[in-house]
Structure 1
């Protein structure tokens, strides 16, 4: 991965960052991110991550005389990814005239790349799809205990369906604890920004799913560092990400609501 982001060097702070891998859900996430960036009057940064080489899934592959492990040359795939990324940027510019769109192709694993970029540009928001390489279920809910929203300390929006209902409410999960207040503040900011209803709902999986039908956005809170907190409340995030019919924002307690 590059040591310093060209986007950061250009002084573009507060961008909306979107991960892109060419999948259908990634395209949906990019469209959502472009509309949100335009509404916030923020630049949009589209990011693709790649690995320099890929070893065999069966371990080290070698043969007499090779002298090294066999690797897969991903140059053609990388070239295709770059072309798709530039195409996505142009689609965003056409859809949101005047939107400042930049792209980056960086080496590294997806979660690490997205975390580095978000921190380097002091991202206001990170947007990903929920299928393909950037799948939030793999990043947030994988075998590792940490999640992307907690790592980057900004809200992470997962787009797993088509365009959200622009007339729908912003639904936020509440549970009576102080930890959810940052999520409530973010949800209130979104509702005010888009002139729509703010609808607090008790942090019950079935109630949240019922109220997320037709919602513009469902907002849930990342409940902090302790294993107990994650065990108690992690199921709410998992349910929202895998079953909610609208985009889902995961808000870490360290996040700010934005301007």
Structure 2
């Protein structure tokens, strides 16, 4: 990549979903004023244990390089048809896909990956590259979902929990402003008491607790609303689990943005029940942001 501006990066593997993700990523890049970089990364082929294995591996790599040229060309053609004026570059790194994407993330604005449905049984297989990329990427990662191949006029949805969601809120505002669409910020809270908590339920001021959640939500959103005054913002506090709260507002959203740590949608294990639930059920792309470095 030789572009000075940080590009939107999209990973392709020749699948239909990857080409659709690339086309969607092109629309986002164009509206952000960023170039698009399409990357085909080689699958991991293991270590060489013998001369015969080394020969087989070398032949496989040669075949992959040939396939990469065709796959990248097809994706680039689709992207240029969708966004004719967009600056598009391609590459085929020789390292495994997650390593290549981690390296690219240090100088990228966003990484987009085509993502099929992630069921409980197939989570470790189908979503493995997405989860590995999220785990080590230095920039936000989008798991493309659904059938939309271009930005729409629908709102952007963002989950807000603790300070670790600040990067997610910032990205959601940036994209909403670029797309000229409304933003919905959702914070969840639970009326369940934690284990060992002996608070007598009828002595708890639930209205006061809910008011505290509203304060936390407005405090998190306000600085970004001032930075992007043209973005129309709606706030929601839901008495539900994070994934349930977000899914409730996903019907007409085009993108959901979440953070990676805290009690929000994605836990530090990256394959928690809440994150798996969102990936499995979300009908729209899911953007995951790591907290900004201190």
* Shorter-normalised TM range: 0.7 to 0.9
Matching residue of 2:11: 19
Count of aligned pairs: 227
Q: Note if 1:35 corresponds to 2:27.
A: yes
CA shift for structure 1 position 76: 3.0
Distance 1:67 1:171, change over 3 A: closer
Once the two structures are overlaid, the 10-residue window that deviates more, 10-19 or 26-35, is 10-19
Q: Note if 1:167 corresponds to 2:153.
A: yes
Distance 1:125 1:136, change over 3 A: farther
1: distance between equivalents of 2:279 and 2:153? 21
Matching residue of 1:3: none
Matching residue of 2:245: 207
RMSD value, Cα: 2.9
* Greater radius of gyration (CA): 2
Distance 1:117 1:165, change over 3 A: closer
Q: Note if 1:111 corresponds to 2:101.
A: no
2: distance between equivalents of 1:96 and 1:114? 23
Matching residue of 2:71: 84
Distance 1:111 1:53, change over 3 A: closer
- Check whether the contact 1:214–1:246 (CA below 8 A) recurs between aligned residues: no
Distance 1:49 1:232, change over 3 A: closer
CA shift for structure 1 position 248: 0.5
**1:18 match: secondary structure:** strand
Note the alpha carbon deviations across 1:102-142, whole angstroms, 9 max, x for none: 100111111100111222xx11111111149xx8820354x
Matching residue of 1:197: 182
Distance 1:198 1:67, change over 3 A: closer
Query: What TM-score do you get using the length of structure 1 for normalisation?
Result: 0.77
Matching residue of 2:137: 152
Query: What TM-score do you get using the length of structure 2 for normalisation?
Result: 0.68
